[in-house]
Structure 1
Amino acid sequence: MFDARIVADQVSPAAKPKIRVLFYTDLIGFSGNGGFSLGILRDLILANQPFFAQFQIDLINRHEGGHAAKKLTSAVLGGYEQVWFFGLLQSNMPGEPENELVDAEVAALRTWMDAGGGVLITGDHSNPRPPGADPSLPDYLNLGRALGHRVPRAGELRVWNDRPDSSIEFSHNTHQPDPWGSDINNPIPNDLDPYPQELILRKRLGRPHPLFQGRRGPITIFPDHMHEGQLLIPERLPVEVWPTGRGGQPKPEIVAHGTDKRNGQVYGVSSVYDGAAAGVGRIVADATWHHYFDLNLWGFEKDGEVLDKLTEFYVNLTLWLTPKPVKLEVNAELLYWLSRSLSVRAVLPEGFRVPGITAAGLVREVAGQGVLDDLVWPLEGTPSVPEELLLGAVVKESVAALGDGDFEAFDTAGVVERGLRAGAEEYAAELRTALGDVEGLSEFISQGIR
């Protein structure tokens, strides 16, 4: 995905930090099921892992070996940095009393997520309540509800107990029409064609969320589907559930929308919660697992533009959900590489800004904006100092610390702290100079004009 030529051989001799991802399902596997499978997703991510990290992807089927034989426990969760939920079942059923997460699993997830574990929560549309299910449940239950609705915080970000369903009247249809005039209300051939849906991206300061920032521009496409689910932003965000950090309370937000091709209505397809800003795990919620399934990826040309953009999104997602301790290891790898880059070394005498701008461009090229954000400011909240000043100062500290090339002795925390302090002090000095330049300017203007 990135141009390996600019990486060259200037990489750390240390082992790459490992980012371990668990796909947790109740039916879906890596193959089979008529394309309701995750093999292509896994292969795309593993084939495009960056030079500064090593990805591991495992899949656990909750019911493999017997009903609820493979529950989520603290021991299981401790082996992963993030969990991606791909559930199909709707609820507990007679003879299947633990299709839904039990209290012990919810408690284990809460502890793990509070410690930084990242979560992707998915599902799909709703179907009528299955015959035999608890009659007190709503008439419509979402596909994936059994695994998803009790996941702490993440479970609140999707509609589980109501429409949209799979009917033409009450569904969310994002099928991009094909040139042959195929009925967009039919899954085949539309799920299999090479035409993705176009996204509407929410932007902040002119940029989409880092998940949707590609190396060559915004990632504005997703696989399409005839009946997607619906995202939800909770009306109440009590701090005991959605904690507050030093920069305030981070709130979930929808960052990408899709359009119903029948009526033009716009729906959220991807939302994020930056829990890292409050010291807990990040969350991404998706309107449907069809954005990840083989069935919806088969139609895109291998190594083609569409699949390349989707791969960038999947890798961005993996990196963005990674907890802070591993990100600090990633930062160490990147700082080593930047300190060895001749492009950076050539401009080191130019203060902080120029090396910072150069380094930022390199990181965007090989890692994306999300990784750059966490490298520039590995703390809560958003920095008030320009990123080029902070990054330039940290890179200069890295070059000094790695003067003899001893990566084993590289104190990442110390280097970053000294660099951030130096960047902040440089910015303060710039502001003081600017303030001095304008002191007395009002009187000077008045005297000159009169």
Structure 2
Amino acid sequence: MPLPDNIFEHTRLNPLYERRLFDLFKPFRLRTHVDILIVVDTQIATQPGVGFGIGSVIELLKNTTVGCMRFRVDIAQRSAGVPQVVANPADFQPKYTAFRFDMQDDGSHVIDKYEQIWCFGFNPDNNNGPDSNIDQPGAIPASNAELAKLASWMKIKQGGMFATGDHDYLGASMCRRIPRIGTMRRWTNADGVPPQFSPDRIDTLRPPGPAFEPGAPGGPAELANTPHQADTTIQPIQWVSWRSVRTSVFRRRVRPHPVLCHPTLGPIDVMPDHAHEGLCRDSGTVPLNGMYNFDGMGEQPEYPDATSGGAKPEPFVIAYGSTLGDPPYNFDKGPQPARSRFPMISVYDGHRAGVGRCATDSTWHHWMDVNILAIKGAGGSDWEKVKRYFINLATWLNPPGYSTDCLFLSAFTSHFTHVGFQEYSPKLSNLELGRNLYNHLILTYGPCWVTQWTLDLFDILKIRLFEEPQFPKIPDVCLTCPPFDLFEIHALGGLVRASLDDAALVHAAVRDDKSCDFKAKSLEDMMLPGVRSAIAGFVKEWQADLAQSSKLLKTLELKD
């Protein structure tokens, strides 16, 4: 795909090198544009500023860049009628009407044009009815033919899926049978969805001031969905440790999943509140042995085994919410118990199983304008964190190769920034080169994303260091266990070393005003062998250190 004109916008690149590098990268067809299809039922608006809609999120994605990555968004609206393609839709209007996941345009399936599909479902209705309503024709439930195409897209293209609804069975008609999406979140009464009313609802509203706190004069004021879901007071969430690295005998460093990691503000620990949220399935409770056969061609596993061995990849919760109790608080919808946590956001890394990644959210009220406009208007860290959640999902859900293309580009262009001019030399070790690149990358992406993209490199190379979702539990003191940081830094050092010669060609071409060409046909061909070599070298060092330690231990043996 063509390179964006502003491809180097966030690279801190010396401007003298921009045109030369732009011309050199043109033949590489880097995957820099991500096409996202957002699918909505008719009740959910897509224009910014409409309360019951997601227009502000769509606007945000269209105007966002993450390194070399740009997002293009089209809208599909599910309704009755004949599926139609709108040639030139107005801004924030559907490109596809009466949309079906298996619809075609000029002989090819529409969804094959997209890397990601995001579903915001409303149907069957908001009437708190029986599950039999879900598959009524008027609710436009996803058909077997649609689901067969979706399942194929998730397997062949490894496209990423996100889906959410709200309380009760909202969104179930579209989403409940989509592979993985349907079991990562609760969609039906049979699943145990939380209701809109009664003490069993999930009411996450938070008091906006002292008058709403227990003990306030005259009793706490009433918390109501209108207006308090729309104010600037948002709920705290509990992020889950995704990576845990021992930094000393007595200390560990933990990080959230990249979806909940802000590059400068740290963990994303807040979310808009709402009076009746839905519910994801908790880690370890998702049924992993389900099968589907939408096209009649034979049963397929919903959760495939890992393609390169190891444990079957599973969905896991990355954030929990909580509720305040009434009493002592005062909710207009009545009493509810205080809950220390409920599953709010769940993810599944399907790349290890040869399928696309998936994510689900307890409610679309974390996304809707009615919930986020005041937070956006107030600005500050709350809005920065909430909007980064949306951006992070768009970054994480990509098929394999998109994030690594941007990592390769960032690593190569770093040669022509302050870090390359000052800190790169062939005389340095991979550890030293990698540390310098790491410190450069986290300025833009933050440490969580550098780790995720390093793991993506290891997936390409079939290097299985650790099982998901967390590093294996090890004894409190493991003197033979190098921290993951060393693997990460050596891999980054391999990227730098592999590109030193080509970077020198560019330096000479700019200095002498001459042309130059890369020998490699892609940045992956240029840089990936360096990662393999660096990890192999580190393994040899590790083996040598183990042998040395073994000799030392023999000298320390106590005699009777």
- TM tier, smaller: 0.7 to 0.9
Query: Partner letter of residue 107 of structure 1?
Result: A
Does 2:455 correspond to 1:404? no
Does 2:333 correspond to 1:285? no
Distance across 1 between alignment mates of 2:270 and 2:312: 30
Q: Match for 1:272 among 343, 347, 367?
A: 347
Distance across 2 between alignment mates of 1:343 and 1:184: 56
User: Post-superposition shift, 1:443?
Assistant: 3.5
Aligned to 2:199: 169
Aligned to 1:237: 288
Aligned to 1:372: 450
Distance across 2 between alignment mates of 1:161 and 1:232: 12
Aligned to 2:482: none
Deviations along 1:373-415, one digit per CA (max 9) or x if unpaired, are 3532324375466100011111221233343344695533323
User: Post-superposition shift, 1:368?
Assistant: 3.9
User: Post-superposition shift, 1:186?
Assistant: 1.6
**Aligned ranges for residues 22-171 of structure 1 at < 5 Å?**
22-27=37-42, 28-31=44-47, 35-63=51-79, 69-73=98-102, 75-90=109-124, 91=133, 96=138, 99-115=140-156, 116-126=158-168, 142-162=169-189, 163-171=193-201
Tell me how many residue pairs correspond in the alignment: 432
**CA 1:426 to 1:383, structure 2 compared with 1: closer, same or farther past 3 Å?**
same
Contact 1:168 1:185 in 2 (8 A): no
**CA 1:436 to 1:442, structure 2 compared with 1: closer, same or farther past 3 Å?**
same
Q: Give the secondary-structure state (helix, strand or coil) at the position aligned to 1:439.
A: helix
Contact 1:176 1:184 in 2 (8 A): no
Distance across 1 between alignment mates of 2:525 and 2:400: 16
Distance across 2 between alignment mates of 1:183 and 1:36: 26
**CA 1:325 to 1:390, structure 2 compared with 1: closer, same or farther past 3 Å?**
closer
Q: Match for 1:197 among 230, 235, 247?
A: 235
Higher deviation after alignment, 375-384 or 109-118: 375-384
Aligned to 2:534: 423
Q: Match for 1:329 among 405, 422, 425?
A: 405
Contact 2:321 2:344 in 1 (8 A): yes
Query: Partner letter of residue 174 of structure 1?
Result: T
Distance across 2 between alignment mates of 1:5 and 1:421: 25
Deviations along 1:300-336, one digit per CA (max 9) or x if unpaired, are 1434221111122111111100101333432332233
What is the root-mean-square deviation of aligned Cα atoms in Å? 2.8
* Gaps in structure 2 of 5+ consecutive residues: 1-8, 84-96, 103-107, 125-132, 213-219, 245-253, 291-300, 326-336, 467-485, 507-516
Contact 1:17 1:326 in 2 (8 A): yes
* Gaps in structure 1 of 5+ consecutive residues: 127-141
**CA 1:94 to 1:257, structure 2 compared with 1: closer, same or farther past 3 Å?**
closer
Distance across 2 between alignment mates of 1:86 and 1:249: 28
Distance across 1 between alignment mates of 2:492 and 2:50: 48
Deviations along 1:116-164, one digit per CA (max 9) or x if unpaired, are 10011101001xxxxxxxxxxxxxxx11111110111111111111231
Distance across 2 between alignment mates of 1:390 and 1:32: 42
Deviations along 1:174-195, one digit per CA (max 9) or x if unpaired, are 1121104286652112111111
Contact 2:194 2:277 in 1 (8 A): yes
Query: Partner letter of residue 539 of structure 2?
Result: A
**Aligned ranges for residues 249-264 of structure 1 at < 5 Å?**
249-262=312-325, 263-264=337-338
Higher deviation after alignment, 287-296 or 184-193: 184-193
Distance across 2 between alignment mates of 1:412 and 1:351: 22
Deviations along 1:199-240, one digit per CA (max 9) or x if unpaired, are 111103111111111122111111111110011255431282
Q: Give the secondary-structure state (helix, strand or coil) at the position aligned to 2:60.
A: helix
Contact 1:348 1:355 in 2 (8 A): yes
Query: Partner letter of residue 424 of structure 1?
Result: I
Aligned to 1:359: 437
Aligned to 1:226: 275
Q: Give the secondary-structure state (helix, strand or coil) at the position aligned to 1:346.
A: helix
Distance across 2 between alignment mates of 1:202 and 1:363: 24
Q: Give the secondary-structure state (helix, strand or coil) at the position aligned to 2:100.
A: coil
Query: Partner letter of residue 44 of structure 1?
Result: L
Distance across 2 between alignment mates of 1:403 and 1:8: 15
Q: Give the secondary-structure state (helix, strand or coil) at the position aligned to 1:164.
A: coil
Contact 1:159 1:231 in 2 (8 A): yes
Query: Partner letter of residue 118 of structure 1?
Result: G
TM-score of the superposed pair, with normalisation by structure 2: 0.71
**CA 1:158 to 1:16, structure 2 compared with 1: closer, same or farther past 3 Å?**
closer
User: Post-superposition shift, 1:260?
Assistant: 0.9
**CA 1:407 to 1:121, structure 2 compared with 1: closer, same or farther past 3 Å?**
farther
Query: Partner letter of residue 238 of structure 1?
Result: N
TM-score of the superposed pair, with normalisation by structure 1: 0.87
Distance across 1 between alignment mates of 2:49 and 2:392: 27
Deviations along 1:79-120, one digit per CA (max 9) or x if unpaired, are 110011101112557662x61101111001001111310011
Distance across 1 between alignment mates of 2:140 and 2:344: 26
Q: Give the secondary-structure state (helix, strand or coil) at the position aligned to 2:533.
A: helix
**CA 1:146 to 1:79, structure 2 compared with 1: closer, same or farther past 3 Å?**
same
Provide the identity percentage. 24
Aligned to 1:133: none
Q: Give the secondary-structure state (helix, strand or coil) at the position aligned to 2:38.
A: strand
**CA 1:407 to 1:80, structure 2 compared with 1: closer, same or farther past 3 Å?**
farther
Does 2:543 correspond to 1:435? no
